[in-house]
Amino acid sequence: MQEFDLIARYFAPLATAPEAFGLKDDAAIIRTRHGFDLVITTDQVAQGTDFFADDPPDAIAKKALRVNLSDLAAKGAKPEYYLLNLALPRSVREEWLAEFAHGLSEDQRQFGISLLGGDTSATEGPLSISITAMGFVPEGRMVKRSGAKVGDAVYVTGTIGDSGGGLALLRGEANDFGEADRAYLVNRYRLPHPPATFGTTLYDIAHAGVDVSDGLIADLGHLASASGVGIVVRGEQVPLSPALKALWGTDTLARAVVGGDDYQIAFTAPSGLSGPFTCIGQVQAGEGVSLRMNDEAVVIPQPGYRHF
Amino acid sequence: MQEFDLIARYFAPLATAPEAFGLKDDAAIIRTRHGFDLVITTDQVAQGTDFFADDPPDAIAKKALRVNLSDLAAKGAKPEYYLLNLALPRSVREEWLAEFAHGLSEDQRQFGISLLGGDTSATEGPLSISITAMGFVPEGRMVKRSGAKVGDAVYVTGTIGDSGGGLALLRGEANDFGEADRAYLVNRYRLPHPPATFGTTLYDIAHAGVDVSDGLIADLGHLASASGVGIVVRGEQVPLSPALKALWGTDTLARAVVGGDDYQIAFTAPSGLSGPFTCIGQVQAGEGVSLRMNDEAVVIPQPGYRHF
C-alpha cells in the first residue's frame, strides 16, 4: 500500500475539523480564539518501551493519544486537536492499521477531538508514534508546575501504581495471580484513563499541577522544584486499588509511588476540597518530596522512570 | 546521562520564548494573536531514510527543522515556534548532542524561531527526529493547495533536483565527479535551503502553493488534484544547477523532476510576475501534470518518493 492511499483510507476520515483540510494540504490551521491560550504538548511512545508488539492495535493508538491528553488535563486545558506522526515497520498489515485507526476514532468521539495532520513514514526500527496535542485554556490560566504555595494540600486523581502492576504482570511476575485482578491491572498498563474532562475544572481550583507519568514521587518532585517548595506525601492516604494490593502486598505503596505510566493528575490547592480526587499530602517550606507512612519516613531508592 | 540533565544542558537554552516555560512544565502555550491564524505542520526524519549516520550532527538537526520550515513557507506563514521529539539510540554521545543542539541554535537565530517543547526517549532502532513547526499568517490567508486557477502561471523557487543528485553521489554514483560540484550537491542533500522568509511575500501573490518535497511532478500533482486543474510543466524552463547538469547530462531534467527533498516552493499565481522564483509552466483545464520539453511530451515513469 502506498503512503497516500494509506492516509486517504485510514487517517483522512479522522480529520473531522475543517481546519485539517482533509489532510490534503501541507499544513493545518488553528484559528484565533479570543480570550483563550492554546496549550500544546507532545509525547512519543515506542514498541518495546511503552507497549508490546502484540498489544491490541486500538489500545496502542489510544495509549499514544491519552498520554498527551493527560498533559493537557494537568494544565487545565480542554483538548481539541492532535497531530500524528507514525513510523511504521514495512511489515505492517492493513488489518493492524484499520484497528489502530478505529482506536483513534473511538477516542476522538470520547474526548471530542479531531486529527489535524501528521506524517507517516517507514522505519527499519520498532513502531513508534509521536503525537502533539492541543487544547484551549482561558487566557493566562494554564495550571503550571510552579504555582504551589506553602500550606496547600496535595491531591491526586484516580489510583496510583496500577499501570506499574500491569507491566510487572506482563513481564512474568506472579503468574498464578487471579484472572480478574490481572485483567484490571494489565488493562491499566495498556490503556491509561487520564481524567481528560477534569482539566476544565482544574484551572479554577489548582495552584499548581503536573501529569503523573514518570512516577508520583518523581513528578511531585518536578512540581516542588518548579515551585520552590517541599512536599510531604502521607503514604496511608495514597489511593491504591485492591487489585494492586493483592499483587504487591506490603510492598504496594513503595512500588506504586515510583511506578510510571499512571497518567493521573497531581495538583496543589487549598486544603479541604472534595471532588474526584484524594488528598495525599501537604506543601511546606523547604525542598524535595518526602514520603511518610503513619508519620514515619519511608526511604525511596529510585524516584522514577529513566530513559538513559 | 539522564534525560532531565540532557534536556537541561542541551535543549532548555534553546527555549528562548517565555511561552516555553524553560521546558520545565508539561506543556507550552501559544497566545492568541488577533487577526492571525496559527499554521501548524509536522514532519519526521530518520537515519537511513533522510540522513546518514555519519552526517554532521548540526546538519541533521537543521535538516529536521528545515523540512518543516519549508512547509510553513509554502503556506505563506512566518515561522515562530517548534516542538522537538527525539528518539535517541542509547549509544549516543554527548559530543553528538552538543553539535546537534548547536545546529538548532544556529537555525533558531537564522529563522527567528524558538523551541517550545518536546520529548526525548531512548530507542532500540535508528535515530529519529519528529518536529512540529508553527507560524502565523494573516487570518484566512493561508496559501492552500486548492486555489489554483486556469490561466495561472506555475512558479518555483530555487533549483530542482540538487538534493537528489547529492543523494546519488552519496550512494556511490559517479565517484570521479568534480570535487566542488560534488560538495555543492551533497550539501544540498544534507542541508535544505527552504526560502523561509519568502513565505510572508507568498500569501500576497499566490493562488495555491505546495512544498516540493516528494518531487516536483508529484507535488504539483497534489496541487493540481486539490485544485481540480491540470498543469503543464515546460521542461526547458525548470531551473537546474550547473553542478546537477554536470552530473546527469541529458538525463538531468527527467531525474530532477522526480527526485525528492528539494524543499523549495512551487506555486501558482498570475502570469508575468518576477521575483526570487522561475516560471515553469501553466495551469489549464483538465487534470494531472504533464511534462513537455520544447513542446514534446516527456514520459515520467515514477512521479515521486514512496515510503511503502
Q: What is the C-alpha to C-alpha distance for residues A206 and B272, in angstroms, rounded to an integer?
A: 59
Task: Give the C-alpha distances (Å, rounded to integers) separating A229 from A11, A165, A225, B69.
Answer: 45, 30, 7, 40
Looking at the complex, does the CB of residue B34 fall below 8 Å from at least one CB of chain A?
Answer: yes
CATH superfamily of A3-138: PurM-like, N-terminal domain (3.30.1330.10)
Q: A144 Cβ partners below 8 Å, 6+ apart?
A: A75, A208, A209, A226, B21, B25
Looking at the complex, does the CB of residue B132 fall below 8 Å from at least one CB of chain A?
Answer: yes
- Which pLDDT belongs to residue A157? 98
Q: Given an 8 Å threshold on Cβ–Cβ distance, is B27 in contact with A123? A: no
The DSSP code sequence of A32-50 is: --TTEEEEEEEEEEEBTTT
- Which pLDDT belongs to residue B1? 64
The DSSP output letter for B25 is: S
The residue with cell 522568509 is B197
The DSSP code sequence of B42-77 is: EEEEEBTTTB-TTS-HHHHHHHHHHHHHHHHHHTTP
CATH superfamily of A145-298: PurM-like C-terminal domain (3.90.650.10)
The mean pLDDT value of chain B amounts to 94
Residue of chain A with shortest Cα separation from B129: A130
Contact residues on chain B for A142, CB-CB shorter than 8 A:
27, 29
Q: Which residue in the set B29, B72, B116 is minimally distant from A27, CB to CB? A: B72
Asked whether B21 and B126 are in contact (CB, 8 A), the reply is: no
Looking at the complex, does the CB of residue A91 fall below 8 Å from at least one CB of chain B?
Answer: no
Looking at the complex, does the CB of residue B139 fall below 8 Å from at least one CB of chain A?
Answer: yes
| pLDDT over 70 (residue B307) | no
Looking at the complex, does the CB of residue B1 fall below 8 Å from at least one CB of chain A?
Answer: yes
CA contacts within 13 A on the Cβ side of A55:
28
The mean pLDDT value of chain A amounts to 94
Residue of chain A with shortest Cα separation from B132: A132
Neighbouring CB atoms inside 10 A of B274's CB total 8
Burial B135-167 (b: 16+ CB within 10 A, else e): bbbeeebbbbbbbbeeebbbbbbbbbbbbbbbb
Asked whether A248 and A255 are in contact (CB, 8 A), the reply is: yes
pTM: 0.93
| Radius of gyration of chain A, Cα coordinates, nearest whole angstrom | 20
Higher pLDDT, A225 or B50: A225
Cα end-to-end distance, chain B, whole Å: 36
Interface of A with B in 109-128 (CB under 8 A): 116-126, 128
Burial A66-81 (b: 16+ CB within 10 A, else e): bbbbbbbbbbbbbbbb
Say how far residue B171 (Cα) sits from the centre of its chain. 21
Q: What is the C-alpha to C-alpha distance for residues B45 and B48, in angstroms, rounded to an integer?
A: 9
Contact residues on chain A for B41, CB-CB shorter than 8 A:
26-28, 117
Shortest distance, CA A132 to any CA of chain B (angstroms)? 8
Contact residues on chain B for A2, CB-CB shorter than 8 A:
306, 308
Q: What is the C-alpha to C-alpha distance for residues B40 and B33, in angstroms, rounded to an integer?
A: 15
Contact residues on chain A for B21, CB-CB shorter than 8 A:
144, 146
For the stretch B212-234, pLDDT in tens is 999 999 999 999 999 999 999 99
Q: Given an 8 Å threshold on Cβ–Cβ distance, is B132 in contact with A83? A: yes
Say how far residue A284 (Cα) sits from the centre of its chain. 27
Q: What is the C-alpha to C-alpha distance for residues B278 and B126, in angstroms, rounded to an integer?
A: 38
Q: What is the C-alpha to C-alpha distance for residues A283 and A145, in angstroms, rounded to an integer?
A: 13
- Which pLDDT belongs to residue B197? 87
Query: Which run of H or of E encompasses A180?
Result: helix A179-190
Q: B141 Cβ partners below 8 Å, 6+ apart?
A: B37, B76, B203
Q: What is the C-alpha to C-alpha distance for residues B115 and B132, in angstroms, rounded to an integer?
A: 10
Strand order in the sheet with B128-138: A28-31, B36-46, B128-138, B78-89, B114-123
Asked whether B105 and B12 are in contact (CB, 8 A), the reply is: no
Domain layout of chain A by residue ranges: 3-138, 145-298
For the stretch B154-179, pLDDT in tens is 999 999 999 999 999 999 998 889 99
Mutate to test the interface with A, among B1, B6, B9, B25 (most CBs of A within 10 A): B25
Task: Give the C-alpha distances (Å, rounded to integers) separating A179 from A160, A167, A252.
Answer: 20, 15, 19
Which residue ranges of chain A lie beneath pLDDT 50?
none
- Which pLDDT belongs to residue A151? 98
- Phi, then psi, of B57 in degrees rounded to 5: -55, -35
The residue with cell 519549508 is B70
- Which pLDDT belongs to residue B76? 97
For the stretch B54-95, pLDDT in tens is 999 999 999 999 999 999 999 999 999 999 999 999 889 999
Read off the C-alpha cell for A165: 502492576
From the DSSP assignment, how many helices (H) and strands (E) are in chain B? 9, 12
The answer to whether domain B3-138 and domain B145-298 are alike in fold is: no
Asked whether A148 and A223 are in contact (CB, 8 A), the reply is: yes
Residue at B154: amino acid letter: V
The DSSP output letter for B16 is: -
Say how far residue A192 (Cα) sits from the centre of its chain. 7
- Which pLDDT belongs to residue B55? 92
Residue at B149: amino acid letter: K
Residue at A293: amino acid letter: M
Q: Which residue in the set B29, B37, B119 is minimally distant from A31, CB to CB? A: B37
